[in-house]
């Protein structure tokens, strides 16, 4: 069996930047275990498998695997899949069936190998729990207790399909010098994937409003995590100084890894209730090939 695949860099306009992604374009007939084995073979943070959709009005079914497990939802695979489908189908909108639900993405072509996609979150972020162990958090991140918190934001656990521990820190300098303490990590960040999304406001940076780093999920540090950014929308919306209206942010991630990503965030509230959230970004195809799985 031979399978075509594409390699993309996501949340970037530049090749060899952003977050890497493999997309297997015609994955029908693969068993779950085979998809997991292929994702382990690529050994990227995520691999996407495109299949025929169940609904005739939908563009594709999308399965998302890390090297270790399947995910119901992830942001940079969704953006990458939308760009591939938009380019292949010459479509300005694509409808994707993911485990978390149906996702409609709007697509703008940049050239024959790249474009931008934005999608409304299929599940709005929800607060799961508070994070009150400030000493434990500081020790896990290798920072001081008084460096936790930023502009009124406090640590909390949120999920928009995948659970993340959201940790605000004082400024970009603190974010830059985080050192992970694996000895106590799982004890401090104990919900689901034991993943921490550490973020701060960046008023001194002209090109973005927020900066973040993501640690965990079996990949060490991840350069661009759309599902974590989607969870962060929940915390941003809670603290937003508007009862009704729309807010837009640009978040940078991956700079400390040499893989800079830019993620667009948007949310809308009505009568102090979050009613809409979306994330978006660019993606560019950097390679393609054939998987040869034998007879």
Catalytic residues: 46
User: Among residues 66, 7, 76, 11, which one has the least CA distance to residue 255?
Assistant: 11
Distance CA 11, CA 76 (A): 7
Give whole-number Cα distances, 73 to 17, 91, 162, 178, in Å: 22, 22, 7, 27
Tell me the C-alpha distance between 30 and 42, whole Å: 16
Whole-number Å distance between alpha carbons of 65 and 98: 12
d(CA 252, CA 256): 10
Which of 257, 248, 168, 275 lies closest to 219, judged by CA? Answer: 257
């Amino acid at each position: 069996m031979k399978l075509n695949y594409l390699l993309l860099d996501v949340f970037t306009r530049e090749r060899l930047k952003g977050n890497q992604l493999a997309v297997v374009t015609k994955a029908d007939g693969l068993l779950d275990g085979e998809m997991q084995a292929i994702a382990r073979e690529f050994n990227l943070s995520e691999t996407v498998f495109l299949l025929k959709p169940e609904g005739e009005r939908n563009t594709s079914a999308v399965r998302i695997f890390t090297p270790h497990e399947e995910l119901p939802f992830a942001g940079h695979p969704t953006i990458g899949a939308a760009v591939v489908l938009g380019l292949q189908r010459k479509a300005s909108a694509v409808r994707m069936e993911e485990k978390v639900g149906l996702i409609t993405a709007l697509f703008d072509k940049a050239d024959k190998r790249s474009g931008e996609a934005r999608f409304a979150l299929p599940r709005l972020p929800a607060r799961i729990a508070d994070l009150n162990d400030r000493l434990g958090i500081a020790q896990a991140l290798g920072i001081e207790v008084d460096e936790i918190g930023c502009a009124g934001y406090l640590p909390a656990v949120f999920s928009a399909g995948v659970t993340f521990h959201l940790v605000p820190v004082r400024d970009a300098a603190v974010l830059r010098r985080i050192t992970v303490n694996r000895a106590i990590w799982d004890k401090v960040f104990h919900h689901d994937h034991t993943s921490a999304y550490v973020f701060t406001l960046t008023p001194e940076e002209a090109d973005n409003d927020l900066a973040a780093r993501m640690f965990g999920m079996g990949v060490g540090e991840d350069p661009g995590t759309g599902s974590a950014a989607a969870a962060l929308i929940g915390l941003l919306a809670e603290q937003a100084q508007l009862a009704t209206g729309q807010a837009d942010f640009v978040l940078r991630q991956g700079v400390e890894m040499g893989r800079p990503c830019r993620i667009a965030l948007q949310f809308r509230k009505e009568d102090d209730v979050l009613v809409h959230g979306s994330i978006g970004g660019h993606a560019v195809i950097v390679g393609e090939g054939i998987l040869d799985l034998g007879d």
